[in-house]
Structure 1
Amino acid sequence: MTPSPNTPKAYWKKNLKYLLILLLIWFAVSYGAGILFKDTLDTVRLGGFPLGFWFAQQGAIYVFVILIFVYVWLMNRLDKKHGYDE
């Protein structure tokens, strides 16, 4: 049985789905680009630095900050949908 779209259970289920997706993106960028694919990405240079190094030092932080704004935007939409907005 799936909960109706306006129940608190549906709200939290969607919230957890957003969190999981955004954390997986952050993990893929920070671990994947900064560690796993570093050697491949180092063939490209960004601002004079190898791209793998840039992701490990700067890129993962930038992506994390962008994901925070995406999460706020998604949660504002979800709050309005479920009637929790101010």
Structure 2
Amino acid sequence: MNEAPASQRDPVVRRHWRRTLVLTLSLLLVWLAVTVVTSLMPGTLNQWRFMGFPLGFYFAAQGALLVFLAIVAVHTVLMNRLDRRYREERKSAGQV
């Protein structure tokens, strides 16, 4: 009666879910690092220059937004690849 649903017992589903979580958490850590570094350490970042502007200013104005867009793009590409692999594993296991 307390048995887990078949989808939770399936190793292919569990592996896909674990990979999805690892990818999502990794990209969230990048997002957090960029957010924290740009907001809490502008003085340290301003020691370097990028395109003639202090690095802290550049990250606050444009750099962080570009990183956030890159995170979305990376997530989309990697999730599509992961989902494709999941579908192939399910087909090879005969679970279509």
- The TM-score with structure 1 as length reference comes to 0.79
Alignment coverage as a number of residue pairs: 80
In 2, Cα distance between the equivalents of 1:36 and 1:64? 18
Identity %: 42
**Alignment partner, residue 74 of structure 1:** 78
Gaps of 5+ in 1: none
In 2, Cα distance between the equivalents of 1:16 and 1:57? 30
Moved over 4 A (4+): none
In 1, Cα distance between the equivalents of 2:61 and 2:28? 18
Gaps of 5+ in 2: 1-9, 89-96
In 1, Cα distance between the equivalents of 2:35 and 2:81? 27
**Alignment partner, residue 50 of structure 1:** 54
